[in-house]
Structure 1
């Protein structure tokens, strides 16, 4: 089904102050309705631009709200129904991955995908009938191939990746924190963000060189319509799902 397919989008940010000071030239154009991105070689303007097609192409004028509604919303909605999903931000140093995932408060249209996912999840929890939810979160960092729990008692402790025959691949010792509101999620994310390893790069002096994964774990208990014979109890459907929100490490360049 198309709704279950992997989708790849591209987002182009505006030039930063350093690029403006260097009088850099824009070489990218987009046809958003068709999901196409064009890159022109500035040294060969007589040649046709290279063309790439994605599930979505978002230029400087597009905001995170639009990206969430068109791309992320169906995925997070699926998570609230018991399906796993992952949103993975990938790109060059300073390309705007953390801006898209974390976002800013003002203007509201640029609120990030992660806080929007928090709101989406708890709106679903509040609106659901005959259904109970247990929502827990975890936040880990992979830095120089070491895994750390950003919410653990000892954030410097290195954790190990394990594989279980039933639950699959997991991080041994990773802490899970029960949350009941958007505000709790935001406080936990802020705590983890402060614990991330931060390194200096020419593109962005606050750029983190780590790979972070914030995971929303949902357990869904839906009361069925049929009683179990002779027990007086109603059947209960139990589902579990994960929403992985990934901010990928920056790619080193010669810039």
Structure 2
């Protein structure tokens, strides 16, 4: 099967043990082989498009998972990258949806590296094209949609007769620099719903979607125009109530999170 015939690719990243896990003498239950792109659990072998061992860097993940999509995005194709996994497995770290994020260091997550790359490419083609970017950020919390770049209002999902599904009145902000994007990420993550569980002291209690919109217009002819959007999704972690020891509101959040992830898996 050719690359063009594969609409979805799956990458697995195994994180190193946390200090708490090391203190509890937790053992590693699987092994990863980045050469064969396989994960081995007991006597079972699972194959994926990419496998990253616990020593993998943010740059390695970006090069393998994001760069090929960014080429298509700049050509006008809509793309999505989402992080899925158990709570505390490193999704937010990998995506770069953290409040106190420094985009000038090697450990920057995918979002920071993606925005930096897009501005570099826009500069390279600036003689031929005028590129502009906008962004939005929303969260899905307890099956409700909230605008976390605006006043954290609850929003409605609508369907346009020709434009498909959209979120009504979602705030879109112009992104003119890497610093702009960083400030919007910080604001969105600050407004995002979080809580503490036994497995994660700062557990994301919602699914967050940061979307970049591109308008790329030829300087020779305005009729040559590329429009696309890139969805970067940090899903809330799947949970087992027995392990998270969640009660009350945290338990209800966990149930809604699992329900949403189940629907995603069924599609």
TM-score per shorter chain, which class?
0.7 to 0.9
Give the corresponding residue for 1:239: 226
* Cα 1:126–1:106 shift into 2, 3 Å: closer
Contact conserved, 2:103 with 2:182, CA < 8 A, in 1? no
Matched, 1:52 2:53: no
Consecutive unaligned residues in structure 1, runs of 5 or more = 41-48, 225-233
Q: TM-score, normalised by structure 1?
A: 0.88
Q: Distance in 1 between matches of 2:154 and 2:59?
A: 36
Q: What residue number does 1:30 align with? A: 32
Residues 1:167 and 2:163 are matched in the alignment: yes
CA RMSD in angstroms, aligned pairs only: 1.7
- Counterpart CA distance in 2 for 1:166 and 1:11 is 38
Once residues 222 and 171 of structure 2 are traced to their aligned partners in structure 1, the CA distance between those partners, rounded to angstroms, is 31
Partner of 2:188: 192
The 5-angstrom pairing of residues 68-79 of structure 1 reads 68-79=62-73
Q: 1:16 aligns with which of 15, 18, 27?
A: 18
Q: Of the candidates 109, 121, 133, which is equivalent to residue 118 of structure 2?
A: 121
Contact 2:134 2:213 in 1 (8 A): yes
Do residues 141 (structure 1) and 142 (structure 2) align? no
TM-aligned CA deviation for residue 108 of structure 1: 3.4
Distance 2:103 2:131 in 1: 31
Q: 1:107 to 1:82 in 2, by over 3 A?
A: closer
Mapped to 1, the partners of 2:236 and 2:17 lie a distance apart of 20
CA 131–186 in structure 1, closer or farther in 2 if over 3 Å, else same: same
Paired with 1:237 and 1:19, the residues of 2 have a C-alpha distance of 55
Counterpart of 1:65?
Answer: 59
Mapped contact 2:13–2:52 kept (Cα < 8 A) = yes
1:7 is aligned to: 9
How far apart, in 1, do the equivalents of 2:32 and 2:111 lie?
26
Count of aligned residue pairs for this structure pair: 236
Cα deviation digits, residues 119-164 of structure 1 (max 9, x gap): 0111111111310112100000000011000011x21x21011111
* Larger proportion of strand: 1
1 CA distance for matches of 2:13 and 2:7? 19
Partner of 1:71: helix, strand, or coil?
Answer: helix
Partner residue in 1 for 2:248:
none
Compare CA radii of gyration and give the structure with the larger one: 1
Provide, for residues 65-103 of structure 1, a one-character-per-residue CA deviation record: whole Å limited to 9, x for no partner. Answer: 011111211102211221111001000010000010017
- Paired residues of 2:139 and 2:146 also in contact (CA < 8 A): yes
- TM-score, normalising length from structure 2? 0.84
Structure 1 position 183 matched with structure 2 position 179: yes
- Summarize deviations over 1:168-203 as a string: whole Å, max 9, x none: 111001011011111100011101110001111111
Normalized per residue, which structure has more helix? 2
The one of 67, 82, 89 aligned to 2:83: 89
> Are 1:108 and 2:100 counterparts?
no
In structure 1, the residue matched to 2:207 is 211
